[in-house]
Amino acid sequence: MSDLRRRVVEDRGLIKEIELLIPGFHGYREREDLRVADSLLREQLASSLGSIRKGLERCREIVVRKKELDLIEETGILVRRCSAIEERIRHAEQGYTGISADFRIEQVELNQLYEWDLSLLKGVSWMRDTVANLKTSLDSGDSKAVHRGVKAVSKGLDDFDELFERRRVMIAGLEAF
């Protein structure tokens, strides 16, 4: 995936280029571009989690078909948690609060958020691979690997959720500096 910040800057139209030349508006334009990049990245994260959730739903279907009663509840919990995180990311606060807001996130903080998002994308990639391995284990009937896979996905969701919560706290200005 290309750097969304660069893509947003490259896609500036004539009006946005004019805004960059107006004194007092330059910083606003740059922060607004970062906000758009942040929004695009969060949408990408949510979509990726949606595909992971679908993978977990397929795992749950296999568990039901094989009548693995001890795993039905666990896989159902994973599906619900993944769905909840997906929706939280999709509807999260944006990275910039406006021209005259009480609390503003400046470019440095937005860039830090963007780096956190990179860690979140890496977490999504890891979970995608882990869910694929879980499905393979379910198909092969390797119950030890299945239980390890369920725990790994659960831990991955915990880590992902914690990282996203830290990001949310920073955006809300609740973090002690």
What are the pLDDT digits (tens) for 34-80? Answer: 777 778 878 888 999 999 999 999 999 999 999 988 899 999 999 99
pTM recorded for the entire structure: 0.73
Question: Can you say how many angstroms the Cα of residue 121 is from the centroid of all Cα atoms in its chain?
Answer: 6
Q: Where does the pLDDT of residue 122 fall: very low under 50, low under 70, confident under 90, or very high at 90 and above?
A: very high
Please compute the mean of the pLDDT values over residues 82-87 and round it to a whole number: 94
The reported pLDDT for the residue numbered 105 is: 60
The reported pLDDT for the residue numbered 40 is: 82
Encoding tokens for residue 161? 């959720």
The reported pLDDT for the residue numbered 106 is: 64
Please classify residue 12 by burial: count the beta carbons closer than 10 Å to its beta carbon, then call 0-12 exposed, 13-18 middle and 19+ buried. Answer: middle
How many CA within 13 A on the CB side of residue 50?
10
Encoding tokens for residue 86? 């997906």
**CA 168, CA 152: separation in Å to the nearest integer?**
24
Highest mean pLDDT among 7-21, 49-63, 84-98, 160-174: 49-63
The reported pLDDT for the residue numbered 99 is: 47
Q: Where does the pLDDT of residue 4 fall: very low under 50, low under 70, confident under 90, or very high at 90 and above?
A: low
DSSP 8-class letter at 2: -
pLDDT tens sequence across 111-121: 777 778 788 88
Cα dist from 17 to 20, 25, 34, 103, whole Å: 5, 11, 15, 26
**CA 56, CA 132: separation in Å to the nearest integer?**
9
**CB distance 87 to 42 below 8 Å:** no
Please compute the mean of the pLDDT values over residues 89-102 and round it to a whole number: 61
pLDDT at 162 over 70: yes
Please compute the mean of the pLDDT values over residues 142-149 and round it to a whole number: 92
